[in-house]
Amino acid sequence: MRITVSGLPGSGTTSLSRYLAERHGFTMISAGEVFRQLAKEHGMELAAFGRLAEEDPTFDRMIDARQKEIALEHDNIIIEGRLSGWMVEDADLKIWLFAPIGCRIRRIAFRDQVIDEKAAEQLTLEREKCEAGRYQSYYSIDIGNLSIYHLVLNSGYWNVEGLGAIVDTALTQFIRPKNP
C-alpha cells in the first residue's frame, strides 16, 4: 500500500505520517525534511532557500523525482510532502491536511523555535506563495486543487491520534477500485 500525506506548512503532515508509519510498520519519506536539511546544509533559512529553489528548479525537481522513485520501488510506504499526492499518481490513499492559518503559525513557531509569531506568519505566507508559484511553473499544478485527494482532514480540529483514527478507519474499509 502507498499512502501520500500532503498539506500546507504547519498542517501536521509529518506528525500524521510518522504516526501512521509507526502504527502500521510502513516506511516514511518526507520531502519537507529533505528540503529543510538542504536549507541547513546551505546555511540558509527556509524562505531564503525557497527563493533559491525558485531561481534554480534543480532542487525541487531532485526532491520530487527521488520521492516518486522511492514510492514506486516500495510497498507499505508513506510519502509525505506538499506534492506527494500529485507525484505518486497511483497511490492507494491520498490525504490532504489543512488547518486554519493561526493554528499552523503557532505550530511552525513552536517547531522552528521562532519567538515572534508575526515573523513566522510572514515567512510562512512568503514560503507558501513561493512554493505555489514553483509548482505551477514546473508542473502546472494548482496546489489549491484538492480534487485528487481521497481524504481531506482538518488537523486544527483533531490531534494526531484523532486524525490517525480516521485514517485507520479508512484503511480498514479500503477497497482498491478496479480500473475501468
- What's the pLDDT band for 28 if we cut at 50, 70, 90? very high
Which whole number is the average pLDDT over 158-164? 95
Statement: residue 138 has pLDDT above 70:
yes
24: CB partners within 8 A, 6+ apart: 76, 171
pLDDT at 80 (0 to 100): 94
Q: Under a CB-based contact definition with an 8 Å cutoff, are residues 91 and 79 in contact?
A: yes
pLDDT at 178 (0 to 100): 54
Instruction: Please state which CATH class domain 2-161 belongs to.
Output: alpha beta
Any idea where the domains of the chain sit in the sequence? Answer: 2-161
pLDDT at 126 (0 to 100): 87
Statement: residue 179 has pLDDT above 60:
no
Statement: residue 16 has pLDDT above 80:
yes
Flag whether the pTM goes above 0.75.
yes
pLDDT at 175 (0 to 100): 64
